[in-house]
Every structure is written in structure tokens, then in C-alpha cells.
Structure 1
């Protein structure tokens, strides 16, 4: 089974978090190392921080792209459920047209009564 956009989104966000944690760790190591070691250690730590931040940015971008796909999946599922509901209602109307008309008429009458009684309170 192929991973969904939602699964990919979660993976990419997890990777972004890991990269940020690594960047923070490297940054603190670089600061500690700078106190005891010369500028070479600082330059190496800076390069590692930049690398991890770049990786984090790439993972974040990938997560955003997967987020769009995940949103499309959710909309498609909702649309399918809506179509199923409409199809079920259409089937019910075809099977029992008189009962369906009666229910629709009663619902309209109740809504009209509620609308009229709600307008007089203002």
C-alpha cells in the first residue's frame, strides 16, 4: 500500500523536527567549542548548523507540498461521502415518492412556522 500524502506530511514534519534538533545541538556544541578551541571549531559548527537548517528547510517545504495533497485527499473523501448521501436520498425518493413529498412538505411547513414566530420576537 502506497503511503498517503498525510503519511508523507507526518514523515517530512518529523524529519524537519529532527533536523532542527540536530541544528540546535550543533549550535550549542559550536558555542561550547569556541570557548576552548580556536576558530576552526567554530567554522565547522557553523557549517553543520547551516547544513542542518538547510535540510530542515527542505523537509519543511516537502511537508507543505504533502499538506496540499493531504488536503486534496480529504476534500475528495468528503465529496465522495456527499455524492453517496445524495444518491441515497435520490434512491429513497424514487422508492417512496409520496412519503418523500410528505416529509419535504412537513419540513417546509415547520421551517416556515419557526421563521414566522422568530420574526415577531425582534
Structure 2
């Protein structure tokens, strides 16, 4: 490479690369989305299971889920993907328990029942829907 030239990623167009000393690039990008869950009301989706939708686009969403002690989500099949991070408490399904600080993934086709003996607070990223079994 000639002296004084910077390497530029080959997949970026010249307009995305920007130039030193000439201001910002002309390309606009989506802005970050910040959500204050405290400003939202809990919606009871099932007895003892409450949601706050943090983000939703098409069939993809991010939700904050609060399980009351003893809550049960009846047996269902995931048609899309679900990833959860347990912030407080724990949730249990047919294959194990996910405690506070834990992560679990339910791939498309996963069939399970979810319970929370002592309650839990969970962040879930989901695509697709579920169907009862």
C-alpha cells in the first residue's frame, strides 16, 4: 500500500467511507432505540405471566417477562427462535432450570412447558410465534 493511504474495507462504497476533514458521511444510518421499561405497564399474557414489549418489528420482538411465583406457561411449540436471559429468580422447562444470570435458547420446533416456582424476571428475544400442544 502506498505511504500515507489508509486501508478501507472493500465492501464499503466511497460514500460510506467518509473523508478526513470533510465532515460526516452523507449516508444516514438508523438511530439507537432506548426504551424505559418503567414507563410501560405490565400486560398479563397468561395468569401469573406479565410482559412489557420493549421492541417489535414484524414477527421479531424483545420483551421483559415477569413470572409470579408458581406461574406456568402450558406446553407449547416454538415456530421461531427464542433466547432468554434470566435477570432474577429462575425458570424451568422440560430439560432444565435457568437461574438468575443464565441464558437459554429454544430453537424452532422446541416443545416445552415453562414454570417458575419462586418467580422470575426475564429478557426474551423472540422470532415467530408459538402453538399450543
Q: Same fold (TM over 0.5)?
A: no
- Higher Cα Rg, which structure: 1
Q: State the TM-score bracket (shorter-chain normalisation).
A: under 0.3
Structure with more of its chain in strand, by fraction: 2
State the structure with bigger RCO (CA 8 A, min sep 6), 1 or 2: 1
Give the TM-score normalised by structure 2. Answer: 0.19
Give the TM-score normalised by structure 1. Answer: 0.21
